[in-house]
Amino acid sequence: MATRQQVAERAGVSVAVVSYVLNNRKIVKEETRRKVLEAIRELGYRPNQTARSLKTKQTRQIAVLIHYIGNPFEAGLLLHIEATAKRHGYFIFVQTYEPAREEELRAMLIGRVDGVLLLGHALAAESLDDFRALGIPVVSAMQPADGAADASTDGTAGGTTGEAGLPSIDVDWQPAMRRLIRHLREQGHTRIAFMTDATPGSPLGVRAAAFASALGDEGLTPATSPLDGGGRFERARETLDDRLATQPAPAFTALVCANDLMAAGCLAACRDRGRRVPQELAIAGCEDILMSSQTDPPLTAIHYPRQAAGEQAMEMLLAAIAKTPIAGARLPGELIVRGSTSIR
């Protein structure tokens, strides 16, 4: 079992400097910090938790990483994540994550937070290692996409732990997608397309994989390769608008969007082009955000239970912080049928 002394020797620093790094003291140069963290990783050093808890107070702070501050779905999750943290006496810091700033973010969080909650982000292995080495648990609300997402044939690849054993809470997408597809078939659709966010590592990839798999289970094949709506309203609107402009007789009569911002954008594109929904194109989303019940027509959507998901994700992280055993979970995604797919 590696000791703090061995870490110091390997990194070529004093034991005091190793302690500074473990407590994220600002006086340590970034270069030195990197050397020490590398040594910690290479030696598999685990800080003596009892000794540390005697010396360092918990911060009672948790970092929650998000993708896009403008996404009402993420805001909905945050609402319940925060309420749960508050009930247990914790503060949360919300931060937008991007890979280019990951190392900087990592250095900033270490020593400042007791745990990290991701929203399906694919953190670099190095970050996960650092957090683990320093006793900072990481869990995920939404199953992280992993590199094998495209190859996987079912939405539950990795079960409830996704990549690198990261526990997560998410909707059980496979059965939810099947319910949605069956509903569309009942409305007469067999040529059904999917719109996703093609950005590598996007958690929407999990939903895309589940859709493709569920389509196969229902004996259908995708009407066309997935459309890329970039996860955003405006981008989705432009993508579908292009498609409608260049293909007057579209390859699909129904379109499922991986998130509701995109579904609303597609609805807007149809409105702008005078295409009637659902008569000429049926549209559905996968979240049921507030806006989805307020559009014209209102959007059919899989209901993502944000309160349950947010609460359970935070409870899971708090349990990990308390060093009790944790496990991810899959929640049911009920189908809410509205006017964007149902003519009645």
Nearest to 245 by CA among 265, 272, 218: 272
Kindly tell me which of 127 and 152 has the beta carbon lying closer to a copy of itself: 127
The stretch near a copy of itself (CB under 8 A) out of 6-14, 35-43, 138-146, 286-294 is 286-294
Kindly tell me which of 46 and 112 has the beta carbon lying closer to a copy of itself: 112
Residue 78 binds to a copy of itself (criterion: CB under 8 A): yes
Residue 294 binds to a copy of itself (criterion: CB under 8 A): yes
Kindly tell me which of 15 and 75 has the beta carbon lying closer to a copy of itself: 75
d(CA 286, CA 115): 29
Residue 290 binds to a copy of itself (criterion: CB under 8 A): yes
- 15-74: contacts with a copy of itself (CB under 8 A): 26, 56-57, 61, 69-72
Residue 307 binds to a copy of itself (criterion: CB under 8 A): no
Rounded to an integer, what is the distance from CA 309 to the centroid of its chain?
12
Kindly tell me which of 104 and 150 has the beta carbon lying closer to a copy of itself: 104
Give the residue, chosen from 95, 160, 187, 190, that forms a contact with a copy of itself under the rule CB under 8 A.
95
Phi, psi (rounded to 5 degrees) for 300: -65, 140
Phi, psi (rounded to 5 degrees) for 100: -60, -25
- 258-277: contacts with a copy of itself (CB under 8 A): 264, 267-268
d(CA 301, CA 292): 8
Nearest to 259 by CA among 32, 64, 70, 44: 70
Secondary structure (DSSP) of 48-67: -HHHHHHHS----EEEEEES
SS3 label, residue 328: coil
Residue 96 binds to a copy of itself (criterion: CB under 8 A): yes
Kindly tell me which of 82 and 163 has the beta carbon lying closer to a copy of itself: 82
- Considering the complex, what minimum distance in angstroms separates the CB of residue 8 from a copy of itself? 23
Residue 104 binds to a copy of itself (criterion: CB under 8 A): yes
SS3 label, residue 254: strand
229 CB-near residues (< 8 Å, 6+ apart): 195, 196, 197, 235, 236, 239, 240, 257, 258, 262, 265, 266
The residues of the shown chain that bind a copy of itself, judged by CB under 8 A, are 26, 56-57, 61, 69-72, 75-76, 78-79, 82, 86, 91-96, 101, 104-105, 108, 112, 233, 264, 267-268, 290-291, 294-296
